[in-house]
């Protein structure tokens, strides 16, 4: 992805000032929403190491793979909230399935360990 392109996470900002600094380990996510957006972007661009790094080690599947995932088109954040060390993000990720626009919807949970937000689990709706 080119740095000047609009970030896939839906923020409307250029990738270079949105998710790229997080994915390139130049910044930490300040909120669970920011982390979720960067993880979505990592799925879009196929950055499995970043997805693993941002997944709490107690919950990350050992056989994690990007094989067989759909081509995501758009992200919609439905709601988000967090406290000092726990957060939730409800989102929809849109993609094409056999020529039809569809989506997966998830309520994601995050924890903050030290200064880092990490994804734990998600409940697909």
Q: Are 31 and 87 in contact (CB under 8 A)?
A: yes
Q: Which pLDDT belongs to residue 118?
A: 98
Distance CA 116, CA 38 (A): 13
Distance CA 30, CA 124 (A): 24
CATH code that applies to domain 15-124 = 3.10.450.50
Judged against a pLDDT cut of 90, whether residue 119 lies above it is answered with yes
Judged against a pLDDT cut of 90, whether residue 97 lies above it is answered with no
| Count of positions (residues) in the chain | 125
Distance CA 67, CA 98 (A): 17
Q: pLDDT tens digits, residue range 32-73? A: 999 999 999 999 999 999 999 999 999 999 999 999 899 999
């Amino acid at each position: 992805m080119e740095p000047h392109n609009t970030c896939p996470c839906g923020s409307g900002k250029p990738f270079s000032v949105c998710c790229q600094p997080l994915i390139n380990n130049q910044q930490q996510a300040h909120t669970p929403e920011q982390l979720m957006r960067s993880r979505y972007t990592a799925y879009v661009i196929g950055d499995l190491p970043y997805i693993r790094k941002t997944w709490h080690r107690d919950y990350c599947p050992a056989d994690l793979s990007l094989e067989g995932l759909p081509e995501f088109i758009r992200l919609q954040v439905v709601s988000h909230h967090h406290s000092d060390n726990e957060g939730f993000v409800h989102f929809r990720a849109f993609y094409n399935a056999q020529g039809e626009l569809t989506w997966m919807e998830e309520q994601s949970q995050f924890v903050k360990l030290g200064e880092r937000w990490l994804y734990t689990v998600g409940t697909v709706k």
